[in-house]
């Protein structure tokens, strides 16, 4: 995993696990790597993974089973989708519109690019 400087590591790791839930690498009730396993795999401190897992528990995406580890909660994929959608609409889209205005790019140009891209992927 390549880390960026603009966001805390634990949030990047939590987001990556959410990505894996969205792509169904982790499904409902599947076990995710232990804190130590994940820390070793990513080459980060155990406390960073603990914070990432705590964040995911707060988001209601994973839960722990005492003595067994961490597991994806039922419905996590839907919750992650909703969280991401809300973040996009509330944070990213307003920034995008602001950038369009700054660069004087008409929304019609973006709509054309979007339609073209959808046709390519269909």
Chain segment 12-47, per-residue pLDDT in tens? 999 999 999 999 999 999 999 999 999 999 999 999
pLDDT attached to residue 57: 98
Q: In whole angstroms, what is the distance from residue 18 CA to residue 2 CA? A: 16
pLDDT attached to residue 24: 96
Cβ(31)–Cβ(16) below 8 Å: no
In the chain, the N- to C-terminal Cα span, in Å, equals 29
Is pLDDT above 90 for 2?
Answer: no
pLDDT attached to residue 121: 85
pLDDT confidence tier of residue 5, bands split at 50, 70 and 90? confident
Q: In whole angstroms, what is the distance from residue 87 CA to residue 38 CA? A: 26
């Amino acid at each position: 995993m390549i880390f960026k400087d603009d966001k805390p590591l634990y949030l990047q790791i939590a987001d990556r696990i959410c990505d894996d839930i969205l792509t169904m690498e982790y499904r409902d009730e599947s076990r995710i790597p232990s804190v130590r396993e994940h820390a070793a795999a990513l080459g980060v401190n155990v406390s960073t993974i603990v914070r990432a897992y705590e964040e995911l528990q707060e988001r209601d995406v994973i839960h722990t089973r005492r003595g067994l580890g961490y597991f994806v909660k039922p419905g996590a994929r839907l919750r992650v989708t909703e969280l991401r959608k809300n973040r996009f609409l509330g944070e990213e889209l307003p920034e995008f519109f602001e950038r369009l205005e700054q660069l004087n790019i008409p929304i019609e140009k973006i709509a054309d690019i979007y339609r073209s891209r959808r046709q390519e992927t269909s």
